[in-house]
Structure 1
Amino acid sequence: MPTSLPIPDHIALLAAQARQNRLTKPTGSLGMLEDIACRFAAWQQREIPQLPHAAITVFAADHGVTAEGVSAYPSAVTAEMVKNFAAGGAAICVLARQHNARLEVVDVGVASTLPPLGEHVVDAKVMTGTHNLAVQAAMSREQAQDALEAGRAAARRAIDAGATLLIAGDMGIGNTTASAALICHFCALPAATVVGRGTGVDDAGVQLKARVVEAALARLTQDTESLTVLAEVGGLEIAAMAGFYLEGARLGMPSLVDGFIAAAAALVAQALEPDCTLWLMASHRSQETGHLAALAHLGLIPLVDFRLRLGEGSGAALVLPLIASAILLHGEMATFDSAGVSDKA
């Protein structure tokens, strides 16, 4: 079936690769930096890409599965962290300021009612947190669709504001459990190989999370329709992130995939529209168990490994200088001809 999404420009990609081979360096010596520059060339449809303008959107929601004791922190932290984002005190706020990146926070399912927190906190609440996925569907298919659309709308806002590179972040106590369930399903992996420590649970907590994930997965088969999978074991912020990636791809805009939760959202997006992965780049390898397996299923290779497991879009924001270096090297290095340097024989 033909894709409904645009495809990165192959002619621009070939031109960028040819330029890399003319730069004053041994062929391939800049490694993944060459790949980064060439991918941006294809995305931007130009041999020499421009530096991207990043926009970061953090999606926040609560999870009913926290009733099972799967998190080291109480659900109240989700709303408290949204207020912290609004006040500029979270890690992603610091990184957004560093890179002069637009930052928006979207409440798609925080359990409590938040007071007005300023223009950069958007109320797109679908429901006040998901149901407990251990015992029932986390949400209805209609609610999953609404959360996907909240993410799509956020991507459009970011692009309308001038973004040329999208970053989705997450905030939701309990969301590593939902993410693990999604990764297990879409990658056909057992819970024991995917479930990790999340917010810092001990060994007993990891075992408990694995049992919860197994109980949720028992309601599914490999033939279960993807939207139903998302509704059964997903999260509202995960659905919104998937919608964010899908809309970015539809509009020909690349996204940086952050960590474990972001990878789960990307798997949802891939299941709904496989070619969306052509517009995704993995920023880093998370410490969370199962993250590499998720990236492998997406066909993505992480750029760095800083042993992160924070979320919020922090890992993606951290690689923005690396991307800038790759693009500047591609555009500003001399070629063998322009520098009068002898090429290899």
Structure 2
Amino acid sequence: MRHFYISPLDERYRAPLLEKINNLTKPKGALGRLEEIALQVGMIQRSLTPELHKPYNIIFCADHGIVNEGISQSPKEVTWQVVYNILSGGAGVCYLSRQHGVETLLVDVGVDYEFGSIEGLIDRKIMYGTESYLEGYAMTESQFDRAIEVGVEMVERAQQEGANIVSFGEMGITNTAASALWMSILTGMDLRDCVGRGSGLNDAGLEHKYQILKRALEGYQGSSETIDHIRYFGGLEMVAALGGMLRAAELRMTILVDGFIMTACLLAARALYPLVGQYAIFGHQGDEAGHARLLNYLGAKPLLHLGMRLGEGSGAVCALPIVHSSVRMLSEMASFAGAGVTKYFDQDTDETHE
């Protein structure tokens, strides 16, 4: 795996950004989370007047060998069918992206289907789905490295097109299972607290899913290294997103994190490079069982909680306008001095903005 050089946010910008935020024409803290996000994005961009340009949502698609164990309500062919639906513009993430002006990159990194050459689909297929982690590693070291590089390549493509904010989506039946395993291993939480219903399992289906994942975890044949855990249980689309997140942070881009699966990818990225978390804004709390627990573990405060669990980056795209509002505050809102408004609180005694 390549090495990433991720810098911490530049603390020299914290005080001047806070001073600017606190002197806008409002009571201190009156814009709540918008002020926190403005501070974070300003520090990411090292600017008192940050701007968001050309947002991209990069969707990685792949299949998982574990699907044959019947742990998903949806059959495996749904992966490639949803790819076609995204290509036709009919998926949920498509209308949200059109509404909010988000560009899409759709990438086949491991779908068990032969698409051929299709306009709008980027072919970076590494294998036709991973191996079953009931038997051993889902992917080899070489396949893991190639997936990382696909993520790097796509983020670089977005940046070259002018993007400085990026979100990631996924399509891969049973990837909530891989996410639950990563979550349990990397946080130390009990596996049962991490496993959810995915695309709609009933109680019996949920118990079956848990028992299969428990068996897989108990049969783990790898080392104690984090990368071994990631490639043993992960999906190629998840590893590609992990690589994309690390490259985005390395390039000082803002990362808008989607739901449970992408939060698990951020968890894995942070386990390898802790500073990546400083570049992440969490778009929403999804309806998958483990997501709230995982967000709490990460100390994350999601912008939305709408009961969504679609994936594809849809929750992140839905949250993007809030990030836009935060950033525009710094460039479009007047200061007390500039507007000729009397400052109506005592900055020396008022609570410090966090």
Name the structure 2 match of 1:128: 128
1:39 Cα offset (Å): 0.9
SS of the residue aligned with 1:275? helix
Listed as ranges, the matches of 1:163-178 within 5 Å are: 163-178=163-178
5 Å-filtered alignment, 1:240-319, equals: 240-319=240-319
The offset of 1:333, in angstroms, is: 1.6
Give the equivalent residue in structure 2 for 1:335: 335
CA shift at 1:220, angstroms?
4.4
1:299 and 1:150 map into 2 onto residues whose CA distance is: 29
**Equivalent in the alignment of 2:117:** 116
SS for the counterpart of 2:307 is strand
Shift of residue 17, structure 1, vs aligned partner: 1.2
Corresponding residue SS for 1:286: coil
Give the equivalent residue in structure 2 for 1:158.
158
Task: Give how far 1:279 is off.
Answer: 1.2
What does residue 31 of structure 1 align with? 32
Query: 1:321 corresponds to which residue?
Result: 321
Instruction: Give the Cα separation in 1 of the matches to 2:342 and 2:169.
Output: 47
CA 1:198 to 1:148, structure 2 compared with 1: closer, same or farther past 3 Å? same
Could you tell me how far 1:269 is from its partner in structure 2? 1.0
- Equivalent in the alignment of 1:47: 48
Listed as ranges, the matches of 1:96-245 within 5 Å are 96-118=97-119, 120-220=120-220, 224-245=224-245
Q: Deviations over 1:232-291 (max 9, x none)?
A: 111110101000101111111121110011011111211221111111111110111111
**Displacement, 1:6?**
2.0
Instruction: Provide the residue aligned with 1:83 in structure 2.
Output: 84
The 8 Å contact of residues 222 and 232 in structure 2, kept in 1 or not, is answered as no
Deviation at 1:136, TM superposition (A): 2.4
Aligned partners of 2:136 and 2:221 also within 8 Å: no
One-letter code of the match for 1:142? S
Distance across 2 between alignment mates of 1:330 and 1:192? 44
- List per-residue Cα deviations over 1:111-155 (Å, max 9, x = no partner): 01113221x311111110011223322112221121111111111
Structure 1 partner of 2:68: 67
RMSD: 1.8
Deviations 1:157-196 (A, max 9, x none): 1111111101100000111111111111111111211111
Moved more, 68-77 or 130-139: 130-139
Q: Which amino acid aligns with 1:89?
A: G
The 10-residue stretch of structure 1 (215-224 or 299-308) with the greater mean CA deviation from structure 2: 215-224
- 1:303, distance to aligned residue in structure 2 (A): 1.1
- Give structure 1 stretches of 5+ with no counterpart: none
Q: Secondary structure at the match of 2:281?
A: strand
The aligned amino acid for 1:49 is P
Q: CA deviation at 1:53?
A: 2.4
Matches of 1:219 and 1:18, distance apart in 2: 55
- Inter-partner Cα distance in structure 1 for 2:140 and 2:93: 31
The 2-side partners of 1:133 and 1:52 are apart by: 40
Of 70-79 and 126-135, more deviation after overlay is shown by: 126-135
User: In structure 2, how many angstroms separate the alpha carbons of the residues matched to 1:42 and 1:108?
Assistant: 33
Q: Matched residues in 2 for 1:269 and 1:65: separation?
A: 23
CA contact 2:134–2:219 (8 Å) conserved in 1: no
| Distance (whole Å) between structure 2 residues aligned to residue 332 and residue 200 of structure 1 | 44
In the alignment, the residues of structure 2 paired with residue 336 and residue 220 of structure 1 have an alpha-carbon distance, to the nearest angstrom, of 61
Secondary structure of 2:306's aligned partner = strand
Shift of 1:210: 1.2
| Deviation for aligned residue 1:296 | 3.2
Residues 106, 121 of structure 2: 8 Å contact kept: yes
Match of 2:18 in 1: 17
- Structure 1 residue 212, shift from structure 2 partner: 1.7
TM-score, length of structure 2 as denominator length: 0.93
1:25-84 deviation per Cα after TM superposition (whole angstroms, max 9, x unaligned): 111111111001111111111112113421011000001111111111110011111111
CA contact (8 A) 1:144 1:227 kept: no
Range with bigger deviation, 16-25 or 327-336: 327-336
Question: CA–CA distance in 2 between the matches of 1:25 and 1:86?
Answer: 45
